[in-house]
Homo-oligomer: A and B are copies of this chain.
């Protein structure tokens, strides 16, 4: 590894002081044009680059904010990130992204990494493995503002951006009820995720509101990936326990279920109708197009980043608030009751 040229090297070569060199490179008024020129030439000759650590040690600003997301294989987080990036860019900040891979340990490691890069604020969507609550709190205490989005800490008091999963699950379920479907099931997400609980609660309450019987046998755990939805559906088919419609935790599980339905020679929505959640690009491409809840992913990013910027600018400690964004339901063929 080559050694960097320093201010001192340039100063020595030109037989002047490092102060003058520094000023010349900063293009200050109190240094003559000739020496400026000399310094700039010598700097170029020696391929000088200022040592960022030394600079930061001095002026203590990094103009950088950090981001921790569980993953970005699904389209959800990438879209959120676009929103974040827009705000960050406009504010002249930089964004450092890390991925916790749903691991509590890696999440903590990433937080430390961001901290050691002196980010001025952190945006985070926590893992489904658990919460590093003590660490979040420690960050906040040490003066690094934190904003949670999508997957939020239940204990730490900080700004949060979420969508109203409960209400949307409620709507989605009512949509199926109003469409005249009788036997409605729910494919549940990972049980220790708050969004899973909220969506399930929404489903149950909607069913209850319309005096539908809610038993454990109409709710099946299907996780987060398409294979799980595929298997869950296959099980139902094997047991000959076919519902009229299923409200699925998300699009991938719905698509997995759809695959199983087709393979069994059944038809959607004729035999089994489906509703997904958190709109993916594929939803419109499959046959039949999938009804899904479209979350304002870009908006989530924008909102979360804006909340962080607010905190960074007002040095005042604003009371932490939770912003609930609304989403919309895209009704497509997969949930149309053709018998009605």
Contacts and interface: CB of A to CB of B under 8 A. Distances in A.
Interface of A: 1-4, 47, 49, 51-54, 56-57, 64, 71-73, 75, 78-79, 81-82, 85, 89, 94-99, 101, 106, 109-110, 113, 115-118, 141-143, 226, 252, 255-256, 258-259, 262, 281-282, 284-287, 315
8 tightest A-B CB contacts, nearest first: A2-B143, A52-B116, A97-B97, A53-B57, A73-B78, A53-B56, A94-B113, A282-B282
B142 A47 contact: yes
Contact of A118 (B53, B97, B259): B53
A1 B315 contact: yes
Contact of A117 (B1, B73, B96, B284): B96
Contacts of A72: 72, 78, 81
Contact of A47 (B141, B252, B255): B141
Contacts of A71: 78
Nearest to A311: B1
A116 B51 CA distance: 8
A96 B62 CA distance: 15
A81 B57 contact: no
A101 B113 contact: no
Contacts of A110: 94
A247 to B, nearest CB: 19
B285 A287 contact: no
Nearest to A49: B142
A7 to B, nearest CB: 14
Contact of A57 (B54, B113, B118): B54
Nearest to A139: B49
Given A142-B2, A282-B285, A94 B109 contact: yes
A105 B98 CA distance: 22
A6 to B, nearest CB: 12
